[in-house]
Amino acid sequence: MVGQLSILPVNQIDSDRKTFLMAACEQGSTSLIAFLIESGANMDMSDKEGLTALHYAVISRKIDAVASLVSRGANVNKQDSDGDTPLHLAVGNNYEDVVKVLLSSKGNNTLQVTQRNNKGWTPLHLASYYGHTDTAKLLLQQDGTDVRVVDNDGCTPLHLASNQGHTDTAKLLLQQDGTDVRVVDNAGWTPLHHASYYGHTDTAKLLLQQDGTDVRVVTNAGWTPLHHASYYGHTDTAKLLLQQDGTDVRVVTNDGWTPLHLACQNGHTDTAKLLLQQNGTDVRVVTKYGWTPLHLASYNGHTDTAKLLLQQDGTDVRVVTKYGWTPLHLASYNGHTDTAKLLLQQNGTDVRVVANDGWTPLHLASSQGHTDTAKLLLQQNGIDANKADNDGDTPLHRAVQKCRWCQEKKATVTLHPCQHTVTCQNCCSQMTFKQCPICRQHILRKSGFGRELGIKQHDLDIIKLDHSHSVREQSFQMLLTWFQSCDPAKRTLQILKEALERTECFIAIECLSSEFNRISL
């Protein structure tokens, strides 16, 4: 019998590199597990995902199988392809009973409770992120558990609990020696920034009760917790922050945005109303590129927010951005007819104002095919339908430009940086051209460039708004944001070149080429 057992192919694998022992653990058959191990099954073999038999037992919550493997010396610290140990998986699934068995491992096979996965998360990070408070309590009772360990993004367990609004878990963490509410992650965010960003008011309240919490701390981009709450319209969270000593509605981000700018950009009228009730809030403050809160509300068509702003002393419909755009220009550009109508009812609004490129609001509405907005503008006193821009084009020229290829559909795709509108969407999708057919300039294709560099969406929105007239400047600002925020080890010319190639930013690639080739040699 012994001879027969010794020749069994107990470590045979299938196409997924799964063994008989893994299957037995998945089913929780302890007798079969014992038989296979006694027959020579390797407990620490991994499948194509890096999962061992112990991982399978944990995932399936087969407690007896877990206990059997642990008692027989299965490696409790083996990591799968995501860097997760069996303990990570047990904690992530909130299997307290399984966690207790894993924590009972002894001797040379003692569990490493601070082992990090590929994201840099310890089991405590996982428990904190998912709000598994009782499981977190078990981990905190173990020698070696450290609340100060940070993940790849610089986040402590408290950052993650705050990010997800798990107030009870955050409270438990705050009771531990070493927990520090002042620690900032790689982006400069404190736990309070995380709670404010997602509108977790109860968690924010808990954090504000702790010594060291400071509402004045700014992120790498210059955002306070109030900026975060305002951007997403978390009015209750903003109200809580405004009750704290040190909160200042006048603080501006690196790009000159106040909390009011951010609330107005996204049409959070209630939040804007709250901010306008505070001493120091000023509707006249402009961003780095000359945008007032009214410009932002108009650009995005937030008519109710614009109406609120127009009721405030100091709001001026005549203010222009760096590129000469009034709020009416911006509403017209995006076809926000109701917002344009509201602006036209105000003293000082002038349909004849021209931007730096000579465009009137009618040029903008016409070029984008916004018929209703154009019709509204044409009803106004003083309108000049034949006004030529700096290129000699009237609104009619802008409205009737035909695709150079099909000669049927309206040209709607604007090429950058030259800004020539030469093709319709259909022809553009079917053709590949790298130069403008009019001026022969290289084309910078903008779709997805910022996302390729891993820039957060709200940062992309701000870059595009602040540099709406210059795609070249947008590219530069995106590259600068990427350079300042990413891990220095990942900030390589190779990665940058690949991102530029994927997004067809040919001019930037040409600028890089000599330096890149020199380093590649």
CA distances from 179 to 173, 174, 269, 323 (A): 7, 6, 37, 48
**Alpha carbons 207 and 165: distance in angstroms, whole number:** 11
Q: 476 lies in a domain?
A: yes
Give the residues across from 410 on adjacent strands: 402
Do residues 500 and 512 make contact, with C-beta atoms less than 8 angstroms apart? yes
Averaged pLDDT in 10-residue chunks for the chain of 521 residues: 56 90 96 94 96 98 97 96 98 97 85 95 98 98 96 97 99 98 97 98 99 97 97 98 98 96 98 98 96 97 99 98 95 96 98 94 91 96 92 81 69 67 71 69 54 58 61 63 64 62 50 41 27
Return the CATH number at 104. 1.25.40.20
**Alpha carbons 35 and 32: distance in angstroms, whole number:** 5
**Domain end call among 52, 84, 112:** 112
Nearby residues of 127 by Cβ (< 8 Å), 6 or more positions away: 91, 133, 135, 136, 139, 157, 169
Q: What is the pLDDT of residue 475?
A: 63
Q: What is the pLDDT of residue 71?
A: 94
Q: 462 lies in a domain?
A: yes
pTM of this structure: 0.80
Q: 185 lies in a domain?
A: no
Q: 411 lies in a domain?
A: no
Return the CATH number at 507. 1.10.533.10
Q: 30 lies in a domain?
A: yes
CA distances from 20 to 5, 47, 53 (A): 14, 11, 9
**Domain end call among 77, 112, 147:** 112
Q: 95 lies in a domain?
A: yes
Q: 421 lies in a domain?
A: no
**Domain end call among 65, 92, 112:** 112
Three-state SS at 403: coil
Give the residues across from 82 on adjacent strands: none
Q: What is the pLDDT of residue 518?
A: 34
Q: What is the pLDDT of residue 460?
A: 63
Q: 362 lies in a domain?
A: no
Buried b / exposed e along 296-306 (16+ C-beta atoms within 10 A): bbbbbbbbebb
Say how many domains are in the chain: 2
Tell me which residue range forms the domain holding 18.
1-112
